[in-house]
Structure 1
Amino acid sequence: MAWRDVFLACLLVFLNYINALEVDYDGQMTMKLEHALANDPNPEFKDRGVIDILSIRNAAVVMKQNVFTDEDRNQLKALSEADGWYLLKATFTSGDSKEAKLRTFVKGCALYESGLSDTLTVSLDHTGWPVGISMLTNPSLCDGRIVYPSDLISFNTTVFIRHMEQGPVPDTATYIQKIEREKEARERGETKDNRSFLAKYWMYIVPVVIFVLLTGAVNPEGAAGGGR
């Protein structure tokens, strides 16, 4: 077997292994949430709650988020009026104590006017480990609507798990079979060259044409004398 065939066979095995990793992973992890409600250059993060991700594959979660206090409501209202940013910090911990810390943010007025209704999207890499988190509110725009204290009691959170999309995998098995068939055909002498005469022998014709043109250009008098 030629080295090229060995390389292609190894590539096929490797791609199948990567594909299996991307399809078969699953697991659990804990997402601890902390947020900053003050419009401060160096904000102090407070505990917001914990979200247990029971299944990465099925996005099964259990949420335990703290109830909003009067102090929290007043801070969020002040943050909204100051057109500040609500900051969220998420700390992910796996069963083997592996840890990742990610942050996101939204306009304070958006969270305030949504009545604490938000959506968290966790992006995973091909191994199932979080590499990004984003937050949206519903509605996502600030239009100055009236918010009552009863609207700010507890978070209404939805969690989405976004898996890394698998790109197209080359059909290496078919390609290897095609190469083998072509190789066997060449060994049996069955391969035909259907190219035109010019396509086959252009490398011989072009130098002759160039030689003739150069000869005529270098000796114009001889060519003229031959006509008298």
Structure 2
Amino acid sequence: MKLNTFILALTLAASVQVYAEEVTLGVWHKLSDHESFEKRGEIRFDADQWHVLNQQRVQHSGPNAAFNAATAANSKASRLQQQQAAKQKQQNELQLQNFPITYENIVPTAPSAIATLADDFVLNVRAPVKHYERDPKPEGPHTYEDGVTETQEEFDQRLEEWTMLQEELDEAPEKTPGTVAFYQIMLKDESRGWEALSSIKSCLLVASDFQERIALHLDHDRKVFAFDYYTTSDQCSEESEKEYPIRSLDVFKNVEVTIDGPQTAPKSIFHKAQAIKVDETGKPEAEKTFFQKYWVYIMPIVIIFLFTGGEPEKKAE
């Protein structure tokens, strides 16, 4: 009996420990000049702790919060309760600031660490790496197809423009022309075999100075089923409208992670449509008047009133 009780207690303790274990999502991506995928970082959070804090936030911002506060203010005996409530609110705000979500960048310490990573994470694709093909330096006045040769002044101006362009290309960061490249990341929960992919334009990372945002979406079981990935900029600047190869984790910073829980939608009300009656010509019938609808009930009452007559006359004394 004692052995069975011990086994049952051990099983319950193990189940509670597994249930309370925080969720760990691996963030995977593929750099422009790498042949294998790298684990860029991890997102860790406690779904149960988030749920409790979220309920507290909803209660403090609910429609009854102002009414309860006004009612408590009218009572002198509730001053102590107000102080306790203010203290609790301050603690809740502090807890909300320290939301149970952490993101950590993981940088491989050795090239061998990259080589040992799995190569089967095919949901990530690398951005194409292209380079500018610079025009050769003008050697002398150009002769056009119609036989006209540019003057020395025109050649000097063209040579000056070419020199200025080369200086701009030398000073500018390496960028690639062509179609817009997409930077893709994948979140993966290895404990339950879940994974999802999202992508943005690579130029948005440059325009936002690599200020990234990830919004996790939880279902009713508090499991992540989808996520949104975006930056603080929604438009590419003129300087970053070309493709930028991303070759290092050093450019990435800490990512702001938020959680969106399930929302219960209002119940839909279905009204059954009434059939439209048509006449012989196929047109909708005109709506009947009150007398046309209820003459069957009105006529018997009128007939009964006519035959029975009014109240009998009183005899004269």
- Higher strand proportion: 1
**Structure showing greater Rg:** 2
